[in-house]
Amino acid sequence: MSGIMPPGLLQDHGRRFSITGTLPTLAVLLTVLAELASGAPSHMPSRERLVGSLESLVPGEWVLLFLGVTVAALVLQPLQRQLVRWLEGYPLMRGPGAVLGRALVARWRRRWERLDALQQRVDPRPADLPAMAAAAARLARLPRSPDRLMPTGLGNTLRAAEDRPADTYGLDAVAAWPELYTLLPESTATLVDDARDQLDTTCRMAAALALMGGLSAVILPPSRWTLLAVAFLLASVLTYRSAIGAAEGYGRLVNAAVNLHRFDLLTAFRLPLPADPAEERDRFRALSNHLRQGLPVTGPYEHGSP
C-alpha cells in the first residue's frame, strides 16, 4: 500500500499535481539544465556561460522547456504511490534487497525492545519518569507488534498509524478507508487531504534532491563544485526526516477520522451499532473481512425509522 492508506478520493487533483508533481520535477530539470548550460561536464562551471546560455534561448525553446516539465510531471504523477512504497522500504521486504531489509528490520527490532523495556520499568524512580515518557512516545511511532516492523523510519511511522484502528477497534483501516472517507465532513476531509499533500510533497522532494545530488556528482567535474552534490544529498536526508514528521501528522488525522466517524461506517452499511467494545471489535472484524476479501456480513440489517 502507499503510505497507511490511499489519498482522499475527492481530492483537488489539480492542486496536488501542481504542488506534488510539478515543483520537484521542475527542480530536477532546472538543476541539470543549469549545470549543463554552465559548461559542465567538459568545462568548469561558470556564471558567464550560464548567463550566456540563458540569453541565447529563443521563446520557442522556453515553451519547449515548459512543455517538457509538464509532460515529465504528468508521466511521474502515477508513480507517486510507488515512490512512497519505496521510501517505506517495501522493495527491501523481498527479492534481491531482502538481505539488507532483514538487517534493517533487526536493527529496528532491537530499538523496539529497548524502548519497550524502558517504558515498562517496574518501580521507577522519579528521575526515570521523563525517560520512560520519552520512550513511550517514541514507541507509539512504531508498530505495536515487533513482527510488523518495516526497514525504514517512514514505513514504521505509517504502519504504526495503519495498525492502530485494527488493534483498538478491529477495523482494517486500509480496506475501509475508501468508504469511510466518503462519509467524512468536508472540513475533516480537507484536513486529511492537506496532510496527505504534505506527505507526498516531502517524499517526492526527498527523492528529487537525492536525484539532483547523484546527477550533480556525475555532471560536475571534481572540484569545489562537488560540494553542491553533497549539499543536495544532505538536503535529501533532512527532507526525508520531514517526510517522517508529515507521515506522523497524517496518521494522527486519519486515526482521528476513524475514532470520530467509525460508527458512521456501520450505519452506512445498515449494520446495528455495537453495545460494547467486544461486540464492536467483532462487528468491525466482520466488516473488514467483507471489504478486504468480499466475505458476506451476517446478521440483520438496521434501517432506522421509516
Long-range contacts of 17-23 (CB under 8 A, 24+ apart): 17/73, 17/74, 17/77, 19/197, 19/201, 20/77, 20/80, 20/197, 20/200, 20/201, 20/204, 21/73, 21/74, 21/76, 21/77, 21/80, 21/204, 22/69, 22/70, 22/73, 23/201, 23/205
Cα distance between residue 8 and residue 284, in whole Å? 21
Cα distance between residue 33 and residue 4, in whole Å? 36
Q: Residue 53: its pLDDT value, please?
A: 75
Residue 153 has pLDDT above 90, yes or no: yes
pLDDT in tens, 229-239: 999 999 999 99
Q: Which residue has the higher pLDDT, 134 or 154?
A: 154
Q: Residue 272: its pLDDT value, please?
A: 92
Residue 209 has pLDDT above 70, yes or no: yes
- Give the three-state DSSP class for 220: coil
Mean pLDDT, range 245-251, rounded to an integer: 95
Q: Residue 263: its pLDDT value, please?
A: 96
Mean pLDDT, range 44-66, rounded to an integer: 78
Question: How sure is the predictor about 15, in pLDDT bands with cuts at 50, 70 and 90?
Answer: low
Residue 4 has pLDDT above 60, yes or no: no
Q: Residue 8: its pLDDT value, please?
A: 43
Cα distance between residue 74 and residue 51, in whole Å? 29
Q: Residue 28: its pLDDT value, please?
A: 84
| The three cell numbers locating residue 69 | 516539465
Of 235, 251, 234, 155, residue with least CA distance to 198: 251
Query: How many other C-beta atoms are found inside a 10 Å radius of the C-beta of residue 306?
Result: 3
Residue 240 has pLDDT above 80, yes or no: yes
Of 293, 294, 296, 303, residue with least CA distance to 271: 303
Cα distance between residue 210 and residue 237, in whole Å? 8
The secondary structure of 65-100 as a DSSP string is HHHHHHHHHHHHGGGHHHHHHHHHTGGGSSGGGHHH
Mean pLDDT, range 99-114, rounded to an integer: 95
Going from the C-alpha of 181 to that of each of 5, 6, 103, 248, the distances in angstroms are 11, 10, 37, 19
Find out whether 38 and 53 touch, Cβ atoms under 8 Å.
yes
Provide the angle, in degrees to the nearest 10, between the axes of the packed helices 47-55 and 23-37: 110
Residue 298 has pLDDT above 90, yes or no: no
| Predicted TM-score (pTM) of this structure | 0.84
Cα distance between residue 158 and residue 292, in whole Å? 19
Mean pLDDT of the chain: 85
Rama region for 256: left / alpha / beta (φ>0; ψ in -120 to 50; rest) = alpha
Q: Residue 192: its pLDDT value, please?
A: 94
Residue 127 has pLDDT above 50, yes or no: yes
Q: Residue 107: its pLDDT value, please?
A: 96
Of 272, 274, 287, residue with least CA distance to 166: 287
Alpha carbon 42 to chain centroid, angstroms: 39
Rama region for 192: left / alpha / beta (φ>0; ψ in -120 to 50; rest) = alpha
Mean pLDDT, range 158-175, rounded to an integer: 94
